[in-house]
Amino acid sequence: MSDPGGDLATLAARVGDLAKLTDRAARAGERALAQAGETGARVGELELLIRQLAADVVALRDIARARVDADDARVVRSWISTTDPDEGRRTLADLVAWVDQTYLTYPEVTLQSCWLWHPSVVEELLALRGLHADAYMGPNAGWRVACDWHERFRPGVVARVRSTLGGCELGRHVPGGDRHAATGRAPLTSAAGAVAQTWTTEQGTPAPTDEQIKVAERHDKANTRSGSR
């Protein structure tokens, strides 16, 4: 027969061991909970840092894009010698936006809507846009060069563009029109792609559509007088 006293002693020892294990488990659980709380705090801090990093990346991206746009505006391009249709489309799209946002802001400026059909006018406006970027965003940007742009460059281009366009209108660029062989602002933005494609591949200008002529006529009637915006 087994010894009851010995069995009880063994049981008591095992109970004691279980108590020790339970105590260690409890302490381990407390440490785990403490660590979990600390880990949670660290995760929160990491999440905040990630969000800040993402915001910094976005800000740096915007700065980089602005610098690329400024550098792109300062690139010297000759529209008359452009032969790449994709480059031509990008160039005209950027120029149309700049003309509408900047060039046409000045009260003495008028611009017939057929200006896209005049390569020499496009060339003049590209040069003026590049000088504008240099004056305000270039490495030598400053009030002195900005005033030079206003006093010398812009008035000169305005006068030459006005002289070139004269009383021209888009209807004179249709086949048979007196300006068709020779080569508008926002209302004709959609024409920029067609003009770019034809000029860069054929060194000519496309015949304007009836709808473009109607839009141009309405535009020219409303904008043949000087006025502030």
- Under the banding of pLDDT at 50, 70 and 90, the label for residue 191 is confident
Distance CA 85, CA 90 (A): 9
Instruction: Pick 222 or 197 by higher pLDDT.
Output: 197
The predicted structure's pLDDT at residue 151: 93
The predicted structure's pLDDT at residue 146: 92
- Under the banding of pLDDT at 50, 70 and 90, the label for residue 75 is low
The predicted structure's pLDDT at residue 168: 86
Instruction: Pick 53 or 94 by higher pLDDT.
Output: 94
pLDDT at 184 over 50: no
pLDDT cut 70: percent of the chain above it: 61
pLDDT tens-digit map of 123-145: 999 999 999 999 998 888 899 99
Q: What's the first-to-final CA gap in the chain, in angstroms? A: 113
What is the rounded average pLDDT of the residues 142-167?
Answer: 92
Residues 6+ positions from 206 with CB-CB distance below 8 Å:
191, 194, 195, 197, 198
Instruction: Pick 160 or 5 by higher pLDDT.
Output: 160
Query: What's the count of helices (H) and strands (E) in the chain, helices before strands?
Result: 7, 0
Residue 205: half-sphere exposure toward Cβ, Cα within 13 Å: 26
What is the residue-wise DSSP string for 105-143?
GSTT----TTGGG-HHHHHHHHHHHHHHHHHHHSTT-SH
Query: How big is the chain, counted in residues?
Result: 229
